[in-house]
């Protein structure tokens, strides 16, 4: 008689666990939708526009900001801040300097990657050579002199503060696919800003229309959906 009891105990335990997982998923979905509503309240058709220029990909505690400037090659910066020190890591400095002109000459004949630290408005620069060795190449440069017209630390710092307030781990925009911006709230929950004319690429139009149809409109121009499968790494 013990076997049926054990079987029933295991069955009820499995049913209870499945119910808990389903309930937890429901609460998670509701929490993510509440977060989506919060984001919609923070952004409008004007303030969201910056994310057509800057995209974000989370990597651990920090992340990468990628900029796609019209008529100029895209580039990516690894940016973060710890206490009073902000850092900026990038390659191909001539791309970055197109948007943030500098009085400093970055020697790409010796170094392929550069890392800048900003401590209380003083800049320290490190270069990585082709063998992977790091070299201190400048120190105690005044930020206002290094970037006299536009400061990447100020720009990326402001963007990061906004991203943190939105509480998202990814922001993407690809004009080649369509004029819409995606905010990743979790590995499965996505909030999309869809302008009145999303200008979808005809090659991908049907696929994306079906994808957005799976979601729900939580406000004009805003679509919230849950992906069928989590993103890689989610």
Note the pLDDT tens digit of each residue in 143-191: 999 999 999 999 999 999 999 999 999 999 998 899 999 999 998 999 9
Please give the full DSSP string across 165-219, using - where no structure is assigned.
Answer: HHT-SEEEE-TTT-S-EEEESSSSEEEEE--S-----TTTHHHHHHHHHTSEEEE
Quick one: which of 31, 20, 23, 62 has its CA closest to 188? 31
Phi, psi at residue 14, to the nearest 5°?
-65, -40
Q: What is the pLDDT of residues 190-204, one digit of tens each?
A: 999 999 999 999 999
* Residues 222, 192: Cα–Cα separation, whole Å: 6
Domain ranges of the chain: 62-162
Question: pLDDT tens for residues 83-133?
Answer: 999 999 999 899 999 899 999 999 999 999 999 999 999 999 999 999 999
Q: Which helix (H) or strand (E) holds 11?
A: helix 2-42
Give CA separation, 32 vs 20, 58, 126, 185, in Å. Answer: 18, 18, 40, 7
Q: Are 99 and 70 contacting, i.e. CB atoms less than 8 angstroms apart?
A: no
Tell me the three state secondary structure of residue 142: strand
Closest listed residue to residue 189, CA positions, set 167, 173, 160? 167
The pLDDT of residue 59 is: 84
The pair of three-digit structure tokens given for residue 69, joined into one six-digit string: 């400037």
């Amino acid at each position: 008689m013990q076997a049926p009891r054990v079987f029933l105990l295991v069955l009820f335990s499995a049913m209870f666990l499945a119910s808990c997982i389903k309930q937890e998923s429901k609460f998670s979905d509701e929490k993510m939708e509440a977060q989506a509503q919060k984001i919609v309240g923070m952004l409008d058709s004007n303030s969201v526009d910056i994310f057509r220029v800057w995209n974000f990909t989370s990597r651990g505690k920090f992340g990468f900001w990628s900029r796609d400037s019209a008529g100029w090659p895209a580039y990516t910066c690894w940016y973060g801040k710890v206490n009073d020190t902000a850092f900026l890591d990038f390659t191909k400095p001539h791309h970055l300097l197109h948007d943030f002109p500098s009085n400093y000459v970055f020697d790409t004949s010796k170094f392929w990657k550069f890392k800048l630290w900003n401590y209380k408005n003083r800049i320290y620069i490190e270069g990585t050579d082709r063998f992977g060795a790091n070299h201190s190449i400048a120190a105690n440069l005044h930020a206002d002199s290094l970037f006299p017209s536009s400061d990447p630390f100020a720009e990326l710092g402001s963007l990061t503060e906004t991203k943190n307030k939105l509480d998202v781990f990814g922001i993407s925009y690809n004009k080649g696919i369509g004029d819409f911006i995606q905010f990743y709230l979790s590995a499965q929950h996505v909030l999309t800003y869809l302008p009145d004319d999303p200008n979808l690429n005809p090659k991908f139009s049907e696929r994306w229309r079906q994808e957005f149809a799976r979601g729900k409109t939580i406000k004009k121009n805003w679509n919230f959906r849950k992906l069928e499968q989590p993103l890689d790494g989610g």
